[in-house]
Structure 1
Amino acid sequence: MLDKIGIAKRLAKELKDGYYVNLGIGIPTLVANYVPKSIAVEFQSENGVLGMGPFPFEGDEDADVINAGKQTITTLPGASFFDSALSFSMIRGKHVNLTILGAMEVSENGDIANWKIPGKMVKGMGGAMDLVASAENIIVAMMHTNKAGDSKLLKNCLLPLTGVGCVKKIVTNLAVLEVTRLGFKLLERAPGVSVEDIKKVTEGTLIIDGEIPEMSF
């Protein structure tokens, strides 16, 4: 089973040289710390940053340099800053190659719910709806179950949707899954996790084809 850092390290394997990538709030932001040294990617943030680097070390933070989640960040040589109108033009113009988002729920047909739990106060949707409506490659990073132990990979989402049929792949603390027209196809399992473990906590249709390899990093 993976922790949040383990999920981020596995997600970093989805990056490709030359990609422009948007990282959502939560686990996805950790991906910037684990970019393979053999490739170069540009991380983009809705608040108007292109060229984000890893998180700063304690004591090196600059309160004026933040991501969309208001976390302090570093920037790489050549980084640029701009207004949110230009930032969203990049997103809506489909100039982002990969979007990695957190989620509360994902359905077996790729719907995502990641912004609101009815009855609880939220600050707003932020850029999530623009990202899911515009990005062609969306990967979700999340825990496989909620705090009550219930599956977050469902037949149908129960929470208000952010996007419909948009998620392509999911990386959880237990598995890597691809969203197909038939359901969640199990691609990899986390170290120490069996296929049966994953079956027990996946409510949506789970497709198992042959031997499922353990994740590698």
Structure 2
Amino acid sequence: MSSNYTRRSKDALARRVAQDIHDGAYVNLGIGMPTLVANHIPVGMEVVLHSENGILGMGPAPAQGDEDYDLINAGKQPVTLLAGGAYFHHADSFAMMRGGHLDICVLGAFQVSATGDLANWSTGEAGAIPAVGGAMDLAIGAKQTWVMMDLLTKQGQSKIVERCSYPLTGIGCVKRIYSDLCTLACTSQGLVLIDLVEGLSMTELESLIGLPIAKPTHA
């Protein structure tokens, strides 16, 4: 198999996700890699970023030395607040999540099934975190749930699977998977290709994932 392709860096992947966010969207960025998306929102677009600990209107990460640890996101990372931003109670934040007020949430994942089942809170191993937290509320409450992750584990196994073996966060909730090698849509019929990195063929991608991938109908 050829390996003449370059993986997207974490920043390149964040930029790819930001490219698909529409103007005026209310977006939650999950803990970990998804927080990088805030640094790549196109200039001139109004995207209102939400954090489940009770913030609307987050900006990009603060410059080194300008961190304010009284202003943090759900992952306890320092953030900035744009003009018009607001703080509010945790319960109000969850009401936004559960009430369908978020257009998009971008989450990390341990596994995603071809039909959009999400497993992103526990590997089931001893010492794993004991509860799902807000991930379930986000995955089901947002109008669109996108996953942002490396395609393969450190052991080289695909995180996209036919059926999740880890505890589920939500069933059929993921609409798109943004990875370091490709972007895919999850449908009731399985995976559909949106794009893949230069130098990687569909045949190679299907071999890496171990599942069939349909071409987009407009291609």
- For the aligned pair, the TM-score class normalised by the smaller chain equals over 0.9
Q: 1:143 aligns with which of 131, 147, 150?
A: 150
Matches within 5 A, 1:12-51: 12-51=18-57
Task: Find out whether 1:67 has 2:85 as its counterpart.
Answer: no
Distance, in Å, in 2 between the alignment partners of 1:81 and 1:124 is 25
Q: 2:135 aligns with which of 128, 138, 146?
A: 128
Shift of residue 211 of structure 1?
Answer: 9.9
RMSD of the alignment, in Å?
1.5
The one-letter amino acid of 1:90's match is: M
Shifted more, 113-122 versus 158-167: the winner is 113-122
Distance, in Å, in 1 between the alignment partners of 2:217 and 2:83 is 45
Task: Find out whether 1:115 has 2:121 as its counterpart.
Answer: yes
TM-score, with structure 2 as normaliser: 0.92
Distance, in Å, in 2 between the alignment partners of 1:208 and 1:17 is 27
Cα gap change, 1:123/1:64 in structure 2, threshold over 3 Å: closer, same or farther? farther
TM-score, with structure 1 as normaliser: 0.93
Shift of residue 78 of structure 1?
Answer: 0.9
Query: Residue deviations 1:8-41, cap 9 Å, x none?
Result: 0000011111110000011110000000113111
**Residue 175 of structure 1 corresponds to which residue in structure 2?**
182
Q: Would you say the 8 A contact 2:48–2:58 is kept in 1? A: yes
How many positions carry a matched residue from both structures? 212
Distance, in Å, in 1 between the alignment partners of 2:168 and 2:135 is 11
Task: Find out whether 1:93 has 2:99 as its counterpart.
Answer: yes
**Residue 165 of structure 2 corresponds to which residue in structure 1?**
158
Query: Residue deviations 1:115-170, cap 9 Å, x none?
Result: 00112321632210111121121111011111100011110001000000000011
**Residue 77 of structure 1 corresponds to which residue in structure 2?**
83
The one-letter amino acid of 2:28's match is: N
**What fraction of aligned residue pairs are identical, expressed as a percent?**
44
Shift of residue 194 of structure 1?
Answer: 2.5
The one-letter amino acid of 1:62's match is: D
Distance, in Å, in 2 between the alignment partners of 1:211 and 1:95 is 31
**Residue 195 of structure 2 corresponds to which residue in structure 1?**
188
Unpaired runs of 5+ residues, structure 2, are: 1-6
Distance, in Å, in 1 between the alignment partners of 2:46 and 2:143 is 20
Q: 1:197 aligns with which of 190, 193, 204?
A: 204
Q: Would you say the 8 A contact 1:155–1:205 is kept in 2? A: no
Distance, in Å, in 2 between the alignment partners of 1:191 and 1:32 is 25
Distance, in Å, in 1 between the alignment partners of 2:85 and 2:212 is 43
Cα gap change, 1:163/1:64 in structure 2, threshold over 3 Å: closer, same or farther? same
